[in-house]
Structure 1
Amino acid sequence: MSETVTTATAPPHEPLTSLSRAGTMAARSLRISRRNTDALVTSLMLPVMLMLIFVYFFGGAIDTGIPHTAYVTYVVPGVLLLCAGFGAATTAVAVSEDMKGGIIDRFRTLDISGAAILAGHVAASTVRNLVSTALVLGIALLIGFRPTATATGWLLALAVLVAYLVALSWLSAAIGLLARTPEAAGGFTFLMLFLPYPSSAFVPVDSMPAWLHGFAEHQPVTPAIEALRGLLLDQPVGNSPWIALTWAGGILLTAMALSGALFRTRTR
């Protein structure tokens, strides 16, 4: 009788156990990030430096097509997505270092699943990215960024941003499993760092060469930037938020499936 009761009541506790293990892995990743001072400072400060360069070096020469709007107001949404790319890139390196260092084998002897290990890296990446985002927004407010979003606009903008943070972090984790060395993992993430440039992040798409319009308008970063820009400035956004969330959901599901398959292959 007791065995039957134990068996019947065990499954409900399993999700809580997996969640707590993922939390433990996330805390471990954050502790490692604090010790890796160079990478932490770079991921936090580089987006800020790029924003200042674009605003003060190039901003006066760029016509955004939006009257009475300072360039800093135009460029901040793009820098926020750039932050996500920089922050996610560190996830690929961290996952690759775990695979190379043999710590994964130790975790598996403790019955910690691959999903919990990767979810911990993704959660830590999301936290780091949110800190970097807050820093960028703070500096942007100091140099003239004046958002006019409603409370609903702020919540929707946060939802779009977090969706992209999580999706890019899972994709970066998959890249970390695919790469054989941390150096290669860092190189593979270049695409995520490059995508905001051929988009509406820094200049209007209409100002680009005609052959580039199709890619710039239909790549995943552009609808996210347009959604963030419209929501933060309380302007019409059309269906940009839903397109952005659809892209993020597709990237997330693909990255999770790919990372699961790669983890099983690498740990056989």
Structure 2
Amino acid sequence: MTEYSSLLSDAVLRHRARIAEHSARIEAELASKVKSEFIANMSHELKTPLNTVIGFSKLLTQHQERRLPDKEIVEYATLIHDAAGHLLSVINDILDISKLQSGKYVIDSREIDIENILRDCLEEFRHTADAAQVTFAPEIAADLPPIRGDATKLKQIFGNILSNAIKFTPSRGTVTVKALRTANECAAIVVRDSGVGMSLEEIKVAMTPFGQVDGGRSRWREGAGLGLPIAKALVELHGGTVEIHSQQNEGTEVVVTLPGRDSPTASAIGLGIRSPAA
């Protein structure tokens, strides 16, 4: 019996070792894939605006040799400005995710009105939605609880989520934004779009820093794959939660829950908010 027990123990240990080795190999392959995709995506995201800045600024330097109409000068300057803004946004996202992953990110927490934050974000992205022919449909409750948080970071959270919703919603689609007070004194913000949607596996990829759900789709709409991971990390720093419900070709719903000033818990769970597709 002792010998049998020893053999069985060795067999169990070998089996566990094989499982651990297999898991480690899968994780290493995934990490390598994510790294390769990150390099490819960053190359595109950085080189594209840089090429725009270099190309059109060179045209402006040739103004003395080839007189440019004022209209073209303004057009080139606008393109340079937009490209530089996009480049700065990508660099800021990379710095943010690095700080968040290192645990050195600090928020300036104070009591704020979440309704004002949401309305400012909606107004800011209304022009983007109009340009993409996407309809905004906000429904913000008047009794949202006051919360403690960093106004700038909260705008970044909702900006990232709204940007994604608009980006992956085809023209004539709709993005609805609902904000309500929950029974446990939390603020729940639900952003639902009628866009391309994601499978469960794609949601996991989308929540991974630098993860691109689909190479073809990501090139259809620009992005470094940092919006949702940054939003989730910032929400968690506020003691809140992020839930994503989606189906391919059925749209996506993102539920952000933030604890109110008088909420008995640091985060709210089980709000009962689900999309029909979930």
Higher relative contact order (CA 8 A, sep 6+): 1
Shorter-chain TM-score tier: under 0.3
Bigger radius of gyration:
2
Normalising by the residue count of structure 2, what TM-score does the alignment of the two structures yield? 0.25
Normalising by the residue count of structure 1, what TM-score does the alignment of the two structures yield? 0.26
The structure in which a higher percent of residues are helix is 1
The structure in which a higher percent of residues are strand is 2
